[in-house]
Structure 1
Amino acid sequence: MKRVGIIGGGQLAWMMGDAAKKIGVELVVQTPSRNDPAVTIAQDTVFAAVDDAIATEILAKKCDVITFENEFVNLDALSLLAQQGVCFRPSLKSLAPLLDKYHQRCYLRDLGLPVPDFFAVDEHLNSVQSQIKALSFPVVLKSRRHGYDGQGTFIIPDWATLQQQLDTSIKDKTASQPLFLIEEFVPFTRELAVIASRAVDGEIVTYPVVETQQEQQVCRRVIAPAEIAPHQAAEIKAIAHTLLNSLQVVGVFGIELFLTADGKVLVNEIAPRTHNSGHFSLDGCETSQFEQHLRAVCGLPLGNTTLNAGSAVMVNLLGYENSQSDYKNQRQAIAEIPQSHLHWYGKTESRPGRKLGHVTVLLEHQHRDQAIAIAHKIESIWYPSSLSGLK
């Protein structure tokens, strides 16, 4: 039986548990806390920070291949293990251009893929004023590393706010390169995403393109499939093929995109792992993104990605308070919605914005308004009425 090591023990690793049983794979997890979700499904656990390369060396001795639940890793340290024969999938080489968001943007641009205009900026605003004039406000300021769920991303309306944000941001004073990038603000009509997987033999499969809806820059809802033109879906599929083939990826990647008012598709960001926009596949597809990822990294044939319902809507259950509640009553009410499938991550602590679980509802037909109405019903159950403005 093949053993797969996973660096990271959050819900993305936890959701690989059922898939591992299905295809006969054992999971070994490297994670810092005994309370992390994936600890409950792992056959073995190395308790250490995800960027602890010494712990990863121990992990490597317990498994056949190592993969990643998140991208907050130390590639330089892991490269020493790779030189010693440790098998990482996706490879460290395929991750290298993506972990710094500025480098990622440059890589996408150099591939000829459509991206927003952007440039790097350091904490002293060197050479920024002339470049800002070329873009015009508002702009988007992003931390180049370690941003997720909206953290490290700021919509900047004017020059004074930019200066203030850079002054107040927590910065690594020892960094030898710029810490942020600035990109044009895209007045998109919809945000889109696609999950794509590439096998060891180069086969690529994609899931249906989905619409993602963010609030406060955190994903709240996903509608599958997105109501877009066939040529737009084909263009997004081609983008996925170009990217994964260029990187020689093995595994699942999430690709986030913008759709502009004039129908253009722009690539926003790449997640080199399973992704929130693909959670619907757990209940809506024959092969979930989590099974697909394990299939890819284990060298197995990739599975069917066809949606097995007319459409699906996924809603994240986000924390809205500091609490240790398990929200049993709300979960029971949500579970009574017809064709609903609720996944609770078992986290022991809630805090505002934290992803505690998600629910997917399968629908007979593709109807965006119906999907949004169901999402709002779920949110009306989950969030207190005092927080209705969040919805």
Structure 2
Amino acid sequence: MKRVGVIGGGQLAWMMADAAQKLGVKLLVQTPSEDDPAVSIAQETVFAPVDDANATKILAQKCDVITFENEFVNLQALSILAQQGVCFRPKLEALVPLLDKYDQRCYLRDLGLPVPQFFALEEVENLRSKIEYLGFPTVLKSRRHGYDGQGTFIIKDFATLEQKLSYETKTKPLNKSLFLLEEFIPFERELAIIAARSVEGEIVTYPVVETQQEQQVCRRVIAPAEITPNQAEEIEAIAHTLLNSLEVVGIFGIELFIKADGKVLVNEIAPRTHNSGHFSIDACETSQFEQHLRAVCGLPLGNPALQCAGAVMVNLLGYENSHSDYQSQRQQIAEIPQAHVHWYGKTESRPGRKLGHVTVLLDNQNQESTYSIAHNIESIWYPR
């Protein structure tokens, strides 16, 4: 039996459980809290922060391979373990250019992949002229640890930028090296693709999906996205270029923009399973979670194809501070035809927190009915 250690014990690790059982894989988890979702499914848990390399060393002694559920790791400390023979998949070298969003932008640009214009705040001598070059609105981003919209700010004018930077200075010393600025993209839609690469270098990609955000948090995913064959081909080529360049083993999520003129830009890379791929649990022959375990265990990759005409996935986000399990709402949603509710078992709700998701399988691709299903789920879930 293959033993896989997962750094991180949130819902992404929790959703590996069924796949692990199917493949005969033993899951061990490193996570700080007994209340984290994956603790309930792990054969063994090392209770420690995910950036605690000493705890990872203990985890490694019990595992054949270690993978990641999130990016909040200390690569420098983990590299010592790698030198001692610990097997990380994806390898640490593949994560180095991705964890800092400025480094990630540079890496993508140098690969010749299309990205928004950007620059690091620390490198700027004449900030005003640089901003005028990008134009307003512009986007200020934290270079590390930003997710679900955290650490991303839409800046409407120079006064707002100065106000934001001075606020940061008052609350804590401003470290310009923690931020980058990039052009605001007036995109038509946001897209994503999940791609996996095996130990042998085989790559499979899932259908390109449309992701819909509200307040910079993903609310819905529609699979497949309504795009042209050429756009799908271009996005698949981007995934192949990136994964081969990094020599990745495992699953990556790639977020993209599509502009009004049809041009595709890469937004961000997640070197792990991703929210935009949750539909695959119920809609695809091989879920992204099974695919990831197949890759890191050195097994042949599975078929990523849809087994239905399409699917819509809706995140069940917290809208209040509560310890409710929302049993009544979940039951109503479960009664929707072809609905599959996944509840992460988190003990505390707070606004914007991902508490679960529901995927509804579609018999045909009809935009009107897809939106109607999503609206129905949200009308049940969120208070009027």
Q: Which residue of 1 aligns with 2:290?
A: 291
Distance in 2 (alpha carbons) for counterparts of 1:180 and 1:362: 40
| Distance in 2 separating the partners of 1:50 and 1:195 | 24
Give the distance between the partners of 2:236 and 2:303, measured in 1 at CA.
16
Q: TM-score, normalised by structure 2?
A: 0.98
Question: Which residue pairs with 2:118 in the alignment?
Answer: 118
- For residues 274 and 163 of structure 1, what CA distance do their matches in structure 2 show? 36
Deviations 1:267-305 (A, max 9, x none): 000000000000000000010000000000000000000
Q: How does 1:308-323 map to 2 (within 5 A)?
A: 308-323=307-322
Corresponding residue SS for 2:4 = strand
Would you say the 8 A contact 1:4–1:64 is kept in 2?
yes
Q: Is the contact made by 1:311 and 1:367 (CA closer than 8 Å) also made in structure 2? A: no
**Contact map agreement 2:168 2:174 (CA 8 A) in 1:** no
Q: Whole-Å Cα distance in 1 between the matches of residues 110 and 355 of structure 2?
A: 38
1:191-232 superposed Cα distances (whole Å, 9 cap, x missing partner)? 000000000000000000000000000000000000000000
Query: Do the aligned residues in 2 keep the contact of 1:254 with 1:273 (CA within 8 Å)?
Result: yes
Contact in 2 for aligned 1:227/1:368 (Cα 8 Å): no
Q: Distance in 2 between matches of 1:322 and 1:257?
A: 32
Per-residue CA deviations over 1:164-191 (Å, capped at 9, x if unaligned) read: 112223787496x611111100000000
What is the number of residues matched between the two proteins?
383
Does residue 342 in structure 1 map to residue 341 in structure 2? yes
Q: Which residue of 1 aligns with 2:353?
A: 354
**TM-score if structure 1 supplies the norm length?**
0.96
**Superposition map of 1:63-212 within 5 A:** 63-122=63-122, 126-169=125-168, 173=173, 178-212=177-211
Identity %: 77
Give matches, 1:192-271, under 5 Å. 192-271=191-270
Does the Cα contact within 8 Å between 1:7 and 1:68 map onto a contact in 2? yes
CA pair 215-174 structure 1, distance change in 2 beyond 3 A: closer
Residue type of the alignment partner of 2:306: L
The amino acid across from 2:245 in the alignment is S
Aligned to 1:282: 281
Distance 2:243 2:167 in 1: 37
Partner in structure 2 of residue 11 of structure 1: 11
In the alignment, structure 1 segments of 5+ residues that lack a partner are 386-391
Q: CA deviation at 1:125?
A: 6.3
- Kindly provide the amino acid, as one letter, of the partner of residue 204 in structure 1: I
How far has the Cα of 1:337 moved from its partner?
0.2
Aligned-residue CA RMSD (Å)? 1.3
Asked whether the 8 Å contact 2:165–2:174 carries over to 1, the reply is: no
